A = this chain, B = another copy of it.
Amino acid sequence: MKIDKIEKVAIVGLGMMGTSLAAALKNKSFKGTIVGYSRKENICKDAIEKKIVDDASINLISVVENADLIVMCLPIDLIINKTNEIFDHLKDGAIVTDIGSTKKNIVSLLEKKFKNTNKFFIGSHPICGSEKSGFKFYNEKLFENKVTVICSSLESPKNILNTIKNFWEMIDSKTIFLNASLHDKKLALTSHLPHILSSLLIDVFEKNKNKFKEDDIYSFCGTGFNDVSRLASGSSDIWKDIILTNSEEIIYQLEILEESVNQLRHIIANGNSDEIYSWLNETAQLREKIISKNRL
């Protein structure tokens, strides 16, 4: 099945990610029909009125039953539950994918469900997002020049994998195929750790509450504080699931972080100017290297 054979895409979940995906497809002049599911009637209505989708409904089964491609744009636990719920209603040859930020759990459970059937599940993770959630924060350019990781076991047919690859590339995302377990190891470092560091800044702030008067200390937070703490405003529901489904790898990174904090504390206590400079300079140089190679 080529991408032009996809006549109907069902987007299950019209939050920030799902709506951005629908809007990106419209923006790229996707030829087929885009149908959305939301549990809220007003969101369905809004999405139709704003022409982000061709149709939308709070009836999940009716949304997915004739779809060629179904994209589950939901929090991790709902991706699993709702995919199980729709499975029997999917047409032959239907492909289901998702946007979950951890993959081992989702892919292992759902590949098992779809195995030896004529329906297919391929995991996806577009590495993009926002700390804002909900319909109104959608962005049709969210996926452009970002990486989408495609996770599937080796048994998935090549044409199905290619359809998913072409689908993400149609909205200008780059694609990488990766084993789900290695995906989760890597993302623990590149995505889950940054999120946790952002929240840790706020946690330390909270622990200082008796030291400074509240309203007063807020005035001293500048743009640096705002940027480092931005991710802490993300959805606690989504991040709870990410942490729960990748706890082992996250704990591994937190152990390294604890070691780093401890080391730095000793470097600062030593008060050796060269040592402090070296620590800062090595991190500054590595950061520039990462960012420059990461520019797509």
Contact = CB atoms under 8 A, between A and B. Distances in A.
A162 to B, nearest CB: 20
A265 B251 CA distance: 6
Copies of this chain, how many? 2
Interface in A95-147: 127-129, 146-147
A180 interface: no
A29 interface: no
Nearest to A202: B283
A102 B195 CA distance: 28
B283 A199 contact: yes
A217 B190 contact: yes
Given A189-B208, A254-B268, A269-B251, A224 B195 contact: yes
Contact of A189 (B195, B204, B223, B257): B204
Interface stretch (A33-41, A57-65, A230-238): A230-238
A247 B268 contact: yes
A82 to B, nearest CB: 19
A264 B200 contact: yes
A81 interface: no
Given A260-B203, A269-B247, A287-B229, A218 B293 contact: yes
A247 B234 CA distance: 32
Nearest to A226: B291
Interface of A: 127-129, 146-147, 149, 174, 176, 185-187, 189-191, 193-208, 211-212, 215, 217-237, 239-240, 243-244, 247, 250-251, 253-262, 264-265, 268-269, 271, 273, 276-277, 279-284, 286-288, 290-291, 293-294
